[in-house]
Amino acid sequence: MENSTRAPFWGPQTSYLNFCEEDYIVTRYIAEFINTLSSLVYVIYGIHGLVQLRHEKNAGSRAIAYCGLMGVGICSAGYHMTLKYHTQMSDELSMHLLTTPLVYRILSFQTSPQHSRTVGIILALLFTVVMVVHMVMDEFLLHATTFGMAVYLIATRTLKIIPREIPDPATRKRIQTVALFGCASFIFGYLVWLVDNWACRVLTTTRRSVGLPLAFFLELHGWWHVFTAIGGYIAVAVIDLITSGEVRKDSAERLAWPLPAVARLAGAEAGLKKEA
């Protein structure tokens, strides 16, 4: 695995972050091939969500979060494909464009119009401040911290709302298991991201030794995309189900792979405990 001798189509890197995948290995048109390809997992999950909404009420407003999920994938793919500063900014902006509506939806759920309006104004101001500071000052810590806080708030609030809003024990168990699986996917993806940074030299040497296509499986930043796409999709889907009041007994079965299998496993475990 050696870098392409052909000149990169997008020119020199201007982004201030680059990842462990070697640049322009497969083609001169894509800087980080696997990181770009794996970003499309977000898009696939977003499309699945939109398809499931076709016949639901208030589908237009509920589609915003799924479009945000697709936006993360498109912007991430653009960033890894070009390694340009402006595409990096769009990638990081898209992360907040996904989490901010989700935070608003769970914080304004079953509250007064005045409270919802106040929450919306505060979140809009915070979003504007974070992104202006981040883009003008090239400041990464504020972006990472606020995104992490948003993810934590989404996870904890959602897990608290589920028992209150789903009275049926079996359905509640399945949705809780799916939500916890989403948390675990996101955490595992983050750990994989850390390993990709810490062990980059070892990973690069190993990839060169095994060669293509096996080397693709050791592109850990790509796996970060896959696992966080699963976690992000679960967050969007579960929050949409709860806040729209559309939770049904078969709701988990209508979610994208691998969530129906996760839900069935939770149901089987609950059945075994009941028999015991």
Could you give the C-alpha distances from 102 to 41, 109, 230, 237, in angstroms and in order? 19, 11, 16, 10
pLDDT for 275 beyond 60: no
Cα 251 to Cα 44: distance, rounded to the nearest angstrom = 19
Domains parsed from the chain with CATH numbers: 33-275 (1.20.1070)
CA distance 110 to 124: 20
**Could you tell me the maximum CA-CA distance found in the chain, to the nearest angstrom?**
66
Instruction: DSSP letter for 216, please.
Output: G
Annotated binding-site ranges: 21, 32, 80, 221, 225
Cis peptide before 163 (omega within 30 of 0): no
pLDDT category at 82 given cuts 50, 70, 90 is: very high
Per the annotation, binding residues for Ca(2+) are 21, 32
Look up the pTM and report it: 0.93
Of residues 145, 126, 142, the one with CA closest to residue 134: 142
Structure confidence at residue 271 (pLDDT): 53
Q: Measuring CA to CA, which residue among 71, 70, 81, 74 is closest to residue 21?
A: 81
CA dist., res. 29 & res. 19, Å (int)? 17
Mean pLDDT of 150-166: 96
Q: What is the pLDDT of residues 54-64, one digit of tens each?
A: 878 778 889 99
Binding residues for Zn(2+), by number, are 80, 221, 225
Q: Is the peptide bond before 260 cis (omega within 30 degrees of 0)?
A: no
- Please give the mean pLDDT across all residues of the chain: 92
**pLDDT by residue (tens digit) across 25-63?**
999 999 999 999 999 999 999 999 999 998 787 788 899
The predicted-structure confidence for 212-264, as pLDDT tens digits, reads as follows 889 999 999 999 999 999 999 999 999 999 999 889 888 889 999 999 999 98
